[in-house]
Chain A
Amino acid sequence: MKDLSVLRVAACLFSLSASTLVSANLPAQAQDLRNGGKLLLTNGVSTIEGSGGGGLATWSTIAGNATQEGIGGSVHGTVIELPDYNWTSFGVSVGFFDRLELSYARQNLDTIDIGTALGLGRGYTLNQNVFGAKLKLAGDVVYGDPLLPQIAIGVQHKRSSDAAVVAAVGGASPNGTDFYISATKLFLSQSVLANATVRFTKANQTGLLGFGSATDSNHKPQFEGSLAYQLSRRFVVGGEYRTKPNNLGIAREDDWVDLFAAYALTRNVTVTAAYVDLGSIATADNQRGALLSLQAAF
């Protein structure tokens, strides 16, 4: 119930800000509002937290295909098959004038047999809602000074739906907010896209196991790096590394690694496949598996 009302408020905010931004723009230069003008793949894909980026790491790119001339957005769905878990997430994001991104993602972690082991019941699914906002501050991922990356700051407010589980595993709170700053650049002379993000967070497994613990409840800087090589207009391969806090006493948390390939099937549809190593999750070690994500952007 609570989740729903939050959603409704977010939806209203989205459309409100859309209409104010647009009406502010309409009278003077209605003919200049243009959507869908970005070059292929330069909007990135959707992360598991709903923001524009790689698969696991958030980038400074603004979701959707619109440039500073218009409003765009994307919807995505992601599945990750792991030895002991099944992950699904989906989300929507809206990009305003390649400047502001608002996003929502819903994450579901099916614990399968681990649910039994943890006394939650087989197939117990942990859920979380992530509300994000990102503001581009400077630079351009493609154009301009080749040494000035696109820089953005962002927040992700996360609300776990499993307060009882969070408390049982020792998480201090089922809700938390991450703050990040991100720099992304496509180095055309090398066909390489590089991203570095510093995230201040106390999330346990991105928040699915809550935030902080009795002993460790401060935001700590974590690093997310991506390196990708553009093989063609449509095809890019790369890898990512994401460090994570390790707050919970009962279960170790590891850094995440992935190797990905993203292919733009059309101007609007991008499919991403990755090998992911998510390390140890809630006592189950070696969670290595496959990620598949589909994004539709306009």
Chain B
Amino acid sequence: MISIAFALALMGVQDLPAAADIEPEVTTEVAPAPAPAPEPELERDPVTGELPVDPYEMSNAHAGATPFTGTAMRDAFHGQEGIRRVVDNMVDRAVIDPRISEIFVAHDLVRLRRTLFEQFCHILNAGCDYTGRDMESSHRDLGLQVDDLNVLVENLQAAMADEKVGFAAQNRLLSKLAPMKRDVVTR
């Protein structure tokens, strides 16, 4: 019983630093603008709206999983349209989820939505190539914990449920993402 009270007290304590971190940074920006650019001199591409990144080699292998074969998974996700809705919904949820929202500040969400879409579309065999970076190098500097991953998985599950993707198919996509934990979670 003592230990339960103790652990409960800890649960309270651990909320404090998080709350303290949310500094009411006063910016005059009004529009739901994408996160501020990490370096002021970077300019968004007028066509894609993305920030430039350092050059890297492109390969479908960077998607981090062998794609499904056949069309069942593509259909379960309602094709590219559905996959785009799932990815956008997941990102929308993640960036306002108080448990992980801070991690996305100052990252190029335009690029993230595109590369995540490509990655899911490629893995689900819905006719895309993945042109983003590999999982290890794109998460290396984020210092993610397994709790962050679990939160993102919950956001993805909610997005897939909104898209009415069957639960077995949801888990099948997760089975492709689960082994990537070792590249994504660095702490």
Q: Which residues of A contact B (CB under 8 A)?
A: 11-12, 14-15, 18-19, 22, 30-39, 67-73, 75, 92, 94, 140, 142-146, 187-191, 230-233, 298
Contacts and interface: CB of A to CB of B under 8 A. Distances in A.
Interface stretch (B51-59, B83-91, B117-125, B149-157): B149-157
A22 B11 CA distance: 12
B7 A72 contact: yes
Contacts of A11: 1-3
A14 B21 CA distance: 31
A82 B25 CA distance: 63
8 contacts: A33-B14, A37-B146, A94-B7, A144-B181, A146-B178, A188-B175, A191-B168, A230-B171
A38 B150 contact: yes
Interface residues of B, number: 34
B146 A68 contact: yes
A223 B13 CA distance: 42
A270 B17 CA distance: 30
Contacts of A34: 14, 145, 147
Given A11-B1, A32-B187, A230-B167, A144 B182 contact: yes
Nearest to A39: B150
Nearest to A8: B2
How would you classify the secondary structure of chain A's contact residues: helix, strand, loop or mixed? loop
A22 B187 CA distance: 17
B179 A31 contact: no
A143 B146 contact: yes
A1 to B, nearest CB: 19
Nearest to B147: A37
Nearest to B167: A232
A14 B3 contact: yes
Given A67-B147, A230-B167, A18 B178 contact: no
Contacts of A232: 167
Contact of A35 (B2, B11, B17, B179): B11
A14 B2 contact: yes
Given A32-B187, A39-B150, A230-B167, A143 B178 contact: yes
A189 to B, nearest CB: 4
B4 interface: yes
B8 interface: yes
B3 A73 contact: yes
A30 B21 CA distance: 13
Contacts of B181: 140, 143-144
Contact of A22 (B10, B17, B146, B182): B10
